[in-house]
């Protein structure tokens, strides 16, 4: 099961209480205070790992509690500190703090590298025992501190796939067929709408030194930005991509106009996030192997090239034109990587469809 957004509650452990104790040994009159400190409570961390690709584990287990620290004891014995707990999430997960009453979110971390670790709930410090309060004027203190409570937070975890190229387009445009041809990914392929219900990642290898990751984003339709079809559920997965490839069905079998399909998808992407329209884009005019009227491709080419977007006629089934498309993808990925290397690190992403608290 592919789950890319969950809400969980995490509670760190409280600190142990300090101890009030006095030495009571034979032949040691007025031995003085020897109450130990309490141990610290366990903290909660979120850790990115390459061994997961979904947040499904948190769908059925939304509550996480770290243990509290042990109480201090006599003879100046400090209580044991509790172990921290790590919550493993896929690389590409964004962590938000959620205010349940208002639904507002505040970004905490964007875990884009394996091994990234962020503290989401700090454990409470242990209280001091009475030995800590002894002074020259108060040699027998009878007070100790209670342990501090641990932090409790509601979190929203949102997975955004890390891919260099995002394949977008109407249902049955041939995105799944294309990714299955250029990579080892094997999504479901059938001749009915919304065959693909979850995004798929595929690694494309051009040669020994050139490879990149492609994401097959489930079909978009008019109104996707407001949740129609698969809508916002998967549009967020194109936010990290460096290049967008519009896969357009130019065959007569679709019953639709290729130019209208292209503009509809572009409009929905722009309504979801206008910044996505500034990404490097390509158009793959798919299914030319079953195309009878070549004017459909020519009209689409004139339309997209007037916007400065190259078009590549191709067939994902036969492989015609696929190599040229892949080379164009690589050229734009290389340019995007170079731009990212020179640009300063961007801020944490907002959660689409949700208000981010200042």
List phi, psi (to 5°) of 259. Answer: -65, -45
Tell me the pLDDT tens digit for each residue of 107-150. 999 998 999 999 999 999 999 999 999 998 998 999 999 999 99
- Whether the Cβ atoms of residue 236 and residue 352 lie closer than 8 Å to each other: yes
pLDDT at position 355 is: 39
Say which residues have a Cβ less than 8 Å from residue 182's Cβ, sequence separation at least 6: 202, 204, 214, 322, 326
Tell me the pLDDT tens digit for each residue of 263-299. 988 888 888 888 888 889 999 999 999 888 889 999 9
pLDDT at position 1 is: 56
The DSSP H or E segment spanning 168 is strand 165-168
Is the residue at 354 inside a domain? Answer: no
Selection from 129, 127, 113 nearest residue 68 by Cα? 127
* Strand partners for 248: 285
Query: How much of the chain exceeds pLDDT 70, in percent?
Result: 87
Q: Residue 302 pLDDT more than 70?
A: yes
Phi-psi domain of 16 (left: phi exceeds 0; alpha: psi -120 through 50; beta: other)? beta
pLDDT at position 325 is: 94
Q: Which long-range contacts (CB under 8 A, 24 or more apart) does 205-212 make?
A: 206/326, 206/327, 206/330, 210/330, 212/164, 212/165, 212/329, 212/330, 212/333
Claim to verify: residue 135 and residue 202 sit in the same structural domain: no
Is the residue at 84 inside a domain? Answer: yes
pLDDT at position 198 is: 65
* Strand partners for 107: 96
CATH number (domain holding residue 101): 2.70.210.12
Q: What's the pLDDT band for 353 if we cut at 50, 70, 90? A: very low
Say which residues have a Cβ less than 8 Å from residue 235's Cβ, sequence separation at least 6: 217, 220, 224, 225, 268, 269, 272, 273, 352
End-of-domain residue from the set 159, 194, 210 = 159
Selection from 191, 209, 190, 211 nearest residue 201 by Cα? 211
Claim to verify: residue 207 and residue 265 sit in the same structural domain: yes
Claim to verify: residue 295 and residue 149 sit in the same structural domain: no
Claim to verify: residue 181 and residue 153 sit in the same structural domain: no
Q: Cα dist. 196→150, 234, 271 in Å?
A: 43, 11, 23
Taking the C-alpha atoms of residue 255 and residue 42, their distance in angstroms, rounded to an integer, is 60
Claim to verify: residue 282 and residue 138 sit in the same structural domain: no
Mean pLDDT of the chain: 85
End-of-domain residue from the set 131, 159, 187 = 159
Claim to verify: residue 215 and residue 183 sit in the same structural domain: yes
Claim to verify: residue 210 and residue 310 sit in the same structural domain: yes
Is the residue at 25 inside a domain? Answer: no
Distance between first and last Cα of the chain: 34
Is the residue at 357 inside a domain? Answer: no
Claim to verify: residue 155 and residue 241 sit in the same structural domain: no
For 211, the token pair is 């490879």
Task: Quickly list H helices, 221-287.
Answer: 231-235, 258-272
Tell me the pLDDT tens digit for each residue of 60-112. 999 999 999 999 999 999 999 999 999 999 998 999 999 988 888 899 999 98
CATH number (domain holding residue 264): 3.40.50.300
Tell me the pLDDT tens digit for each residue of 9-44. 999 999 999 999 998 888 877 788 999 999 999 999
pLDDT at position 229 is: 43
Is the residue at 105 inside a domain? Answer: yes
Is the residue at 77 inside a domain? Answer: yes
- Grouping H, G, I as helix, E, B as strand and the rest as coil, residue 314 is coil
- Whether the Cβ atoms of residue 89 and residue 6 lie closer than 8 Å to each other: no
Tell me the pLDDT tens digit for each residue of 160-203. 877 889 888 888 888 888 988 998 766 555 454 444 456 778 88
Q: What is the mean pLDDT of residues 332-339?
A: 89
Total number of domains in the chain: 2
Q: Residue 222 pLDDT more than 80?
A: no
Claim to verify: residue 151 and residue 286 sit in the same structural domain: no
Domain extent for 85: 5-17+31-159
Claim to verify: residue 332 and residue 184 sit in the same structural domain: yes
Is the residue at 347 inside a domain? Answer: no
Claim to verify: residue 174 and residue 132 sit in the same structural domain: no
Read off the DSSP letter of residue 29. Answer: T
pLDDT at position 148 is: 96
pTM of the model: 0.74
Is the residue at 244 inside a domain? Answer: yes
Burial 12-30 (b: 16+ CB within 10 A, else e): bbbbbbbbbbbeeeeeeee
List phi, psi (to 5°) of 166. Answer: -115, 125
List phi, psi (to 5°) of 107. Answer: -65, 135
Q: Residue 151 pLDDT more than 70?
A: yes
DSSP 97-108: EE-TTT--EEEE
End-of-domain residue from the set 159, 184, 204 = 159
Tell me the pLDDT tens digit for each residue of 223-268. 444 444 444 556 777 788 899 999 999 998 878 899 999 998 888 8
């Amino acid at each position: 099961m592919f789950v890319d957004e969950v809400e969980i509650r995490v509670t760190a452990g409280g600190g142990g209480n300090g101890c009030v104790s006095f030495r009571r040994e034979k032949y040691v009159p007025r031995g003085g205070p020897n109450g130990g400190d309490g141990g610290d409570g366990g903290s909660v961390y979120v850790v990115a790992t390459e061994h997961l690709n979904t947040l499904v584990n948190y769908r059925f287990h939304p509550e996480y509690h770290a243990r509290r620290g042990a109480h201090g004891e006599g003879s100046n014995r400090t209580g044991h500190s509790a172990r921290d707990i790590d919550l493993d999430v896929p690389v590409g997960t964004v962590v938000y703090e959620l205010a349940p009453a208002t639904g507002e979110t505040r970004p905490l971390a964007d875990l884009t590298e394996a091994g990234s670790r962020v503290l989401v709930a700090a454990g409470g410090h242990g209280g001091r025992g009475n030995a800590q309060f002894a002074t020259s004027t108060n040699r027998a203190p009878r007070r100790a501190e209670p342990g501090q409570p641990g932090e409790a937070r509601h979190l929203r975890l949102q997975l955004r796939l890390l891919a260099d190229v995002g394949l977008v387009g109407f249902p049955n445009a041939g995105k799944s067929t294309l990714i299955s041809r250029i990579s080892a990914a094997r999504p479901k392929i059938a001749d009915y709408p919304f065959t693909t219900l979850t995004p798929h990642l595929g690694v494309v290898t051009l040669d020994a030194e050139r490879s990149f990751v492609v994401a097959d984003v489930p079909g978009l339709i008019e109104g996707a930005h407001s949740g129609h079809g698969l809508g916002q559920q998967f549009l967020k997965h194109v936010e990290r991509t460096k290049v967008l490839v519009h896969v357009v069905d130019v065959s007569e079998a679709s019953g639709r106009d290729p130019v209208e399909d292209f503009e509809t998808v572009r409009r929905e992407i722009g309504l979801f996030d206008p910044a996505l329209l500034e990404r490097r884009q390509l158009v793959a005019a798919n299914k030319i192997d079953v195309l009878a009227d070549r004017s459909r491709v020519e009209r689409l080419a004139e339309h997209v090239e007037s916007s400065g977007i190259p078009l590549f006629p191709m067939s994902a089934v036969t492989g015609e034109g696929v190599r040229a498309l892949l080379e164009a993808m690589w050229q734009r990925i290389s340019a995007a990587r170079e731009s990212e290397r020179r640009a300063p690190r961007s801020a944490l992403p907002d959660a689409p469809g949700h208000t981010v608290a200042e």
